[in-house]
Structure 1
Amino acid sequence: MENGNQNSYNQNRKKSSEFEKREDYLEHELLSMKFKRWRVHMPFRDFHIEFEDLVPALAATIGKVVMVTAMVAAFAVQFGLSPEFVAENVRYELLIAGGIFVLIFSAILNPRANLAGTHGPMIPLIPVIAAAGGHPLALGILIGVFGLFLSITKGGSKLMELTGVGVRGGLLIYLGAVGLIGQISKFELWTTAQGESTVSFAVIGITVFVYAYLARIKKRWLAIPLCSAIAGFTAYTMGVGFEFSTEPGLPHFNPFWWWGEETGWQLGWPDFGHFVAVIPFAILAVAMWSPDYLGHRVFQEMNYPKKAKNVLMDVDDTMTVSSIRQVVGAFLGGGNIASSWGTYMIPAAIAKRPIPGGAILTAILCILASVFGYPMDLAMWEPVLRVALIVGVFLPLLEAGMQMVQKQNDSLSAGTCIFACAFVNPVFGWALTMLLDNLGLIGDRERAKKLSLKERLIIPGIMFLVCVVALALVGQLPGIPGIF
């Protein structure tokens, strides 16, 4: 029976030449695939690799270098570590977690689990974690343990079901708008510091026109590589300097080197006090996963055919993979905090491609970037990374949120969510408005009446309480000093 299910893909698929439009072929591919949880899947037997898979793979590799560099650099500043340490750790993460781990889990064992990327919202909290006496390994282990608990109990998928359309839309609009403004501001500051302030205007201006044209011809999945390449070329021709500095090589593979007293992190192995210090941060990190994962799956639901249920990202399985990757990566010496890989999922969904094909290409590109080193320099160059994040993450988030908010009731929920997010942060805004929406105080009251007491009050109430307590402990509620 299992072999019949696996072989059904090749029995049902058709060649692209049999379709008038490429989009029709890609949608038929999605309908033909039937991925199984925790089974071995092979290319050309259970799925094919198409040209469109290369685009999210490129976007994911650029995003991986950018986000891991930002996270490890934030740790390095707090612990007095050198830029050489940052480059070495990023290379290590690209090779082990970005390459080998992605290949085994998201490409072969469970193609319904999104790739384990980087938890960007945790980057601003790293100074607070270090000041509280936190240890990166202790933090990584606890995030993995809490994440596994949430995935085993199916908590992630349940929270996704209980998040109404208006709350989803408001969350995506907020994340998209704030991220978009932030990236443009950072790019303008960088060009001003380089003495080339007109570069930011030219690059962003060209990006707007190219992105609008791609949207018009329905080729937005090309946005990250094309706009990033144009941005880099434009900046370079206008006089902004660039040079390669990271030479080819391999990182250290010994965890005892990374967690030595005088090598690697220079922190040694964590003790009991380190684990206690990071408990609220680990809780907060896992609490942030649900809205993050929710935002990524929305793109599949909006771009895939409605009947393509067997290729949609499974939230609980993605949490399982992220949790395992977090524990393994941290133990080996990596400085990344894991989450669902947005710079992969968003362009893959827009390109109407399932997870595994692009995951294989992403793994290959991450390994090559790690070994050769020079691609890391290009991906971390400001014009490239800022434009990649703008067109690959934040603009699609903003657009998706606006498309979701169509009814008046949903707009009220979305507006409340945006207000609450701006007041504290996205995890607070999501938890509060999910509770209010399910109680029927905002949004669709008819939907609220159909929910059970457990769905209407108990689960959203517990989630809101957990988020508020965790935020209060780490000093993230306005006007309330943190305990840690």
Structure 2
Amino acid sequence: MGNTSKPVHEVKDKLQESAHEQTNELSYEQQHKPSSAFNSREEYLEHELQIMAPKRWRPNLPFRDYRFELEDTIPAMAATIGKVVMVGAIAATFAGPLGLGEAFILENVRYELLIVAFFIIIFSGFILPTANLAGTHGPLIPLIPIVVAAGGHPMAFGLLIGAFGLILAISKGGSMLANLTSKGVCGGLLLYLGFVGTISQVKKLFAWAESIEMSYIAFAVIFCTIILYALLEHWRKRWLAVPLSCLLGGTIAFAMGAPFEFQTGPGLPNMNPMYWWGENTGWMLGLPTLESFIVVLPFAILAVAMWSPDFLGHQVFQKISYPARTEKVQMNIDDTMTSASIRQTFGSILGGANFTSSWGTYIVPAAIAKRPIPAGAILTALFCIIAAIWGYPMDLAIWQPVLCVALVVGVFIPLLEAGMEMTREGKTTQSAAIVVFSSALVNPAFGWSLTMLLDNLGLIGCKTRSSELSKMSRWILPGIMFVVLTGVMAAVGLLPGIPAIIPSFR
């Protein structure tokens, strides 16, 4: 018996491998089965992820290469809400110091919604189905007033971000840095982003409620959202959290007397780039000069350097949520950098206010719903076009009871859960704690680069992992990344308590 059991197991393993290889040779259409053929909806969705075979730089067509499901509407809805809010925040941050009014903000947000819809369809929905949607670089928002004060030009800033992003994508630097990041470092980064984001949204909701002298509304909305989220978790319907929480939060606030009215009517923005870059129209800045590019150079380097931890967190969330044998449909970091860079370049030339990054309000709900990128991307583009032309959904999306709960349950709470999941096993808690500590000191980019260096050197975290790394992976590349990032931050005055090295940024 002892002599025959090993060959039997080997034959069984080979048969399973052969069957898996034969299955992979079949097309998506050949392997697709109706949902009625499965015991549960979750089994059907997982099977869809496992049979997809996305093609890079070649056409990926609906129904031939992927299908639309009800679950795709949820990340699309969350993404549209997030886009309106984030682009509005960037446009408003620029508008204040430049003396531009609300009309400029509203029109540019509408313009950006149409721009992003075009690039979503071309890239994530058609030729790069493993590229996450090119969203908005939220961590840059606090830096924009410094950029404006230094005389930075939005077009110059956007073009440099696009150029540096393409260089990183072509060299595959993004995926390389992701591979150098351990589970502890990544988990700590997710915990920090999730916790800080949740706290900020709760504070914003209470600040809004206090401004209308109805603080109790914020408590009621958050309390009911917690109960709803717990019930959805219990019923294994967490993918419905965003629409139901938005509906619940908005309904409760309105029923308790919170003021709300639709103000933004149907319309189209000015589609002429020369209008946006005129000296007396749009941004009222004219075209950038060489000096404009020099001024924003440090910020552009910092913006692209901050992409890696952002992209990594989104990719890891997919890995945690998706079943086995779905590597081919997971977000590709380098492809995402490519599409984001191209979208940034053309968006800046056209006159948009957006500075791009991986679209978190899309990819996180999509991962929870166990859906691949392309179908939800097409729906997101459609929703963005509807919101831009119709106008009224923009008012609803930025209403605080809707906005805050959407971001909390759709992005930040899932990030917390993913971070805790990644730090459950092995010697990951030390690295996670240092990431949180150092991120709180400066920002997530500083925390990620410093902790990656310490972790790879073996000073914290898993010593075995560190000993298996090459010299290049252990300290040369992490060291270069930390020095470059810290140097740029020191140059523009982002290190707390330390004046900017470059006088013009002081």
- Whether the TM-score (by the shorter chain) exceeds 0.5 is yes
Give the alignment partner of residue 281 of structure 1, picking from 292, 299, 318.
299
**Does 1:83 pair with 2:102?**
yes
CA positional deviation for 1:408: 5.4
What letter is aligned with 1:89? N
Tell me how many residue pairs correspond in the alignment.
480
Q: Where does residue 69 of structure 2 map in the other structure?
A: 50
Q: Secondary structure at the match of 2:499?
A: coil
Bigger Rg, structure 1 or 2: 2
In 1, are the aligned partners of 2:125 and 2:378 still within 8 Å (CA)?
yes
In 2, are the aligned partners of 1:165 and 1:404 still within 8 Å (CA)?
yes
CA RMSD of aligned residues (A): 1.1
In 2, are the aligned partners of 1:7 and 1:46 still within 8 Å (CA)?
no
In 2, are the aligned partners of 1:6 and 1:45 still within 8 Å (CA)?
no
Q: Where does residue 386 of structure 2 map in the other structure?
A: 368
Q: Where does residue 78 of structure 2 map in the other structure?
A: 59
Give the alignment partner of residue 20 of structure 1, picking from 39, 64, 83.
39
In 1, are the aligned partners of 2:169 and 2:338 still within 8 Å (CA)?
yes
Q: Where does residue 152 of structure 2 map in the other structure?
A: 134
Q: 1:17, 1:128 → 2: CA distance?
A: 56
In 2, are the aligned partners of 1:6 and 1:34 still within 8 Å (CA)?
no
Q: Where does residue 207 of structure 1 map in the other structure?
A: 225
In 1, are the aligned partners of 2:31 and 2:51 still within 8 Å (CA)?
yes
What letter is aligned with 1:74? T
What letter is aligned with 1:241? P
In 2, are the aligned partners of 1:7 and 1:45 still within 8 Å (CA)?
no
In 1, are the aligned partners of 2:133 and 2:359 still within 8 Å (CA)?
yes
In 2, are the aligned partners of 1:116 and 1:340 still within 8 Å (CA)?
yes
CA positional deviation for 1:306: 2.0
Gaps of 5+ in 1: none
Q: Where does residue 402 of structure 1 map in the other structure?
A: 420
In 2, are the aligned partners of 1:249 and 1:373 still within 8 Å (CA)?
yes
Give the alignment partner of residue 473 of structure 1, picking from 451, 468, 491.
491
Give the alignment partner of residue 454 of structure 2, picking from 416, 436, 452.
436
What letter is aligned with 1:199? I
**Does 1:338 pair with 2:352?**
no
In the TM superposition, structure 1's runs of 4+ consecutive aligned residues that sit over 2 Å from their partners are 4-7
**Does 1:454 pair with 2:454?**
no
CA positional deviation for 1:171: 0.5
Q: How does 1:182-331 map to 2 (within 5 A)?
A: 182-331=200-349
**Does 1:8 pair with 2:7?**
no
CA positional deviation for 1:368: 0.6
Q: Where does residue 376 of structure 2 map in the other structure?
A: 358
CA positional deviation for 1:460: 0.5
In 2, are the aligned partners of 1:92 and 1:251 still within 8 Å (CA)?
yes
Q: Where does residue 4 of structure 2 map in the other structure?
A: none
Q: Secondary structure at the match of 2:27?
A: helix
Q: Where does residue 10 of structure 2 map in the other structure?
A: none
Range 408-417 or range 151-160, more displaced: 408-417
Q: 1:34, 1:258 → 2: CA distance?
A: 41
What TM-score results when the alignment is normalised by the length of structure 2? 0.94
Q: How does 1:372-391 map to 2 (within 5 A)?
A: 372-391=390-409
Q: 1:205, 1:305 → 2: CA distance?
A: 32
What letter is aligned with 1:283? I
Q: Deviations over 1:68-112 (max 9, x none)?
A: 111111111121100010000000000111x11101110001100
Q: 1:393, 1:72 → 2: CA distance?
A: 22
Q: Where does residue 18 of structure 2 map in the other structure?
A: none
Q: Deviations over 1:380-409 (max 9, x none)?
A: 111111111111111111111011101352
Q: Where does residue 153 of structure 1 map in the other structure?
A: 171
Q: 2:148, 2:364 → 1: CA distance?
A: 32
Q: Where does residue 12 of structure 2 map in the other structure?
A: none
Percent identity, aligned pairs only?
A: 60
Q: Deviations over 1:402-435 (max 9, x none)?
A: 1110135200110111111111111000000000
Q: 2:387, 2:400 → 1: CA distance?
A: 18
**Does 1:347 pair with 2:365?**
yes
Q: 1:408, 1:177 → 2: CA distance?
A: 22
What letter is aligned with 2:73? L
Q: Secondary structure at the match of 1:78?
A: helix
Gaps of 5+ in 2: 1-22
Give the alignment partner of residue 393 of structure 1, picking from 411, 424, 432.
411
CA positional deviation for 1:5: 8.2
CA positional deviation for 1:40: 0.5
**Does 1:39 pair with 2:58?**
yes
Q: 2:47, 2:440 → 1: CA distance?
A: 41
Q: 1:480, 1:211 → 2: CA distance?
A: 43
**Does 1:166 pair with 2:184?**
yes
Q: 2:236, 2:143 → 1: CA distance?
A: 38
